[in-house]
Amino acid sequence: MCSAACPRVGLEIGSLRRKEEYVPFKIIASQCTSCSACEPLCPNVAISEKGGNFVIEAAKCSECVGHFDEPQCAAACPVDNTCVVDRALPRYQAPV
Ligand code: SF4
Ligand code: SF4
């Protein structure tokens, strides 16, 4: 097993740390009606249309922390449970 000094382990740990900084909502594509209501509300410009589908760029999503009390995409979306936390990734941690 590699030690902490192993460059590869360091790279992997670095990647995990970066992920913890950006925790994303995601859009369930099969439920999204492409109404575009969410797109202009994102304070981080994380939502965009790609080929007719609206997607959230995970690296830009901060769950609206520091901007709004609730995630704006989820609040605005007319389809329940379509803008949801991506549970495959860690929750956003606001800088201290
Ligand atoms: S939760 Fe907030 S920051 Fe994340 S995509 Fe939705 S509107 Fe943007
Ligand atoms: S508000 Fe909801 S249904 Fe409309 S584009 Fe965004 S995710 Fe899709």
**Does residue 35's CB lie within 6 angstroms of at least one atom of ligand 2?**
yes
Ligand nearest to the CA of 37: 2
Q: Dihedral (C-alpha) 28, 33, 39, 40: value to the nearest 10 degrees?
A: -150
Alpha helices in 1-96 (DSSP H): 7-21, 72-76
User: Which neighbouring-strand residues pair with 67?
Assistant: none
**Does residue 85's CB lie within 6 angstroms of at least one atom of ligand 2?**
no
* Average pLDDT rounded to a whole number, residues 7-32: 61
Q: End-to-end distance of the chain based on CA atoms, in angstroms?
A: 33
**Does residue 23's CB lie within 6 angstroms of at least one atom of ligand 2?**
no
pLDDT digits (tens, 9 = 90+) for 57-80: 988 999 999 999 999 999 999 999
Its pTM stands at 0.77
Ligand nearest to the CA of 31: 2
Contacts of 71 (CB under 8 A, 6+ apart): 25, 63, 64, 83
- List, in order of start, the domains of the chain with CATH numbers: 23-85 (3.30.70.20)
